[in-house]
Amino acid sequence: MPPKLSKLPLVPIIKGKCSMNFLEKIFKGDPGAVFLVHCPKNCVDASGSVFGTAIYAPDSSICRAAIHAGVLQHFGGLVEVAASWGQDIFTGSVNRDIASSDFTTTTRSFVVIKPNSLAIRLA
pLDDT in tens, 18-48: 999 999 999 998 999 999 999 999 999 998 9
In degrees rounded to 5, what are phi and psi of residue 45?
-95, -5
Q: How much is the average pLDDT of 80-88?
A: 93
pLDDT of residue 105: 82
pTM for the model stands at 0.84
User: How many separate helices (H) and strands (E) can be counted in the chain?
Assistant: 2, 10
Fill in the amino acid letter for 24. E
CA–CA distance, 66 with 45 (Å, rounded to integer): 13
Q: Say whether domain 12-122 belongs to CATH 2.170.130.20.
A: yes
**pLDDT > 80? residue 122:** no
